[in-house]
Structure 1
Amino acid sequence: MLAALCYPFRRRIYAATGLPRYSTTTTVEPRPPVPFTCKTGLNPFAAPATGLTGPGAVATARILALTALEEHSDSSLVVIPRPDATALFGLGEDELLDDDTAALFIPGNLDAALAYLETELAIRQNTGATDGRRLLLVADCESESQRIQSLFDRHPGGACAILLGPWTGEQAATDDEGLVDAPPALASALPDRLPTMSRIEARDRLLSALARQIQDQKPAPRRRPAPRHSEL
């Protein structure tokens, strides 16, 4: 019942609208990159809102979004506004317009994404539904910090967010090597160091994850019954 209410609304919303900083006088051995594997041990849902800042913020948002899509696709829905899908993964305006996966929704902009979340959470509250997918917003919060915080206040535990931009709540700073400096409220949700990832690699992993999910969602082909031999 919940899916019947949710996904038609999603389709209506859909139509809406650097170099390392090393001293020149000191030799510094660069840290080897942390590999990003399918099982990262990260939990994108560990905090209601994870604000990200610093030179590694975008890469961190990519990794957290991919973790949700690769490790939690059966139980979560990642909502990424189109401008953020472009910034994080290099997706064009016409890519994934007909996406049929249950784990990813790309509305036209942040306003449309928030309108979807507000409506979906209100439906769940009004119907008492408790078996819906976990909701994760990954976006630049732009000038909507108050609106996003109000959404969390009205529906505690209803959704989580990975937020870039001028988020007014707690923020974790990541540098271009993936080192994390987080306040106590976020420290337990993030490791001391995160893997880094380019937009090209992130795009490839995103498309691969979606292709696997689409394949998994296809019903198994029916086997044609064997012809009966006429009895003699």
Structure 2
Amino acid sequence: MFTMEIPSIKVIAFDADDTLWVNETFFRKAEEDFCELVSAYLPKEEANKLLFEIEMQNLGLYGYGIKPFTLSLIEAAIKITNGNMDIALVETLIERGKKMLQEPVELIDGIEETLEYLSKKYRLVMATKGDLLDQERKLIKSGLEKYFHHIEIVSDKTEKQYQKLVDHLDIDKSEFLMVGNSLKSDILPVLNIGAYAFHIPFHTTWVHEVYNGTIDHPNFKSLTHSKELLHYL
């Protein structure tokens, strides 16, 4: 069953959203609700496309997370209705954003048992991007904080950010393993700096995070469940 030699791993970093706990499902539901709310002005498919375009335009300014998403919902609604929407629609979108921020944290199946086992053998790190306050809130509510040696919340995941993390942890890149659900954010940048990366896909992926290429790299492994990590570590 062991097909990859990892002789020197000291630190394992885990992505948060859709690796430790469910996240993307809430965004997809909010998108569906938004498209329904503005369907009298624009067909749902076109409304969804416009919303995504606005999210991409705002990404460099707002970053990732529920609060930036809520602002993009409001901006999209203004554009779709040519500024003629009822103020009640704005209130509805704001309340939708607040509701997302208060959703219970649902752990990914098997992740706590995996973290508990690995934390006895390795230093574990939570490495995620997004809104600092929201990610800290979810971590505390999740009950997983006790397993992590270090928490890293950044505005985006790039090769530079991963290299800074490796340097901060005072380890060599060959001693670092990243585990996450996004090939684009969690896997490719890590492989590019010469570290290890294991992919555990989530059933729903944001369009912006989709990577359609293939990965053929000696430091890469694709899994289906977090407990499969225990076969290799």
TM score, norm. by length of structure 1 = 0.29
TM score, norm. by length of structure 2 = 0.29
Q: In proportion to residue count, which structure has more helix?
A: 2
Structure of higher RCO (CA pairs closer than 8 Å, 6+ residues apart): 1
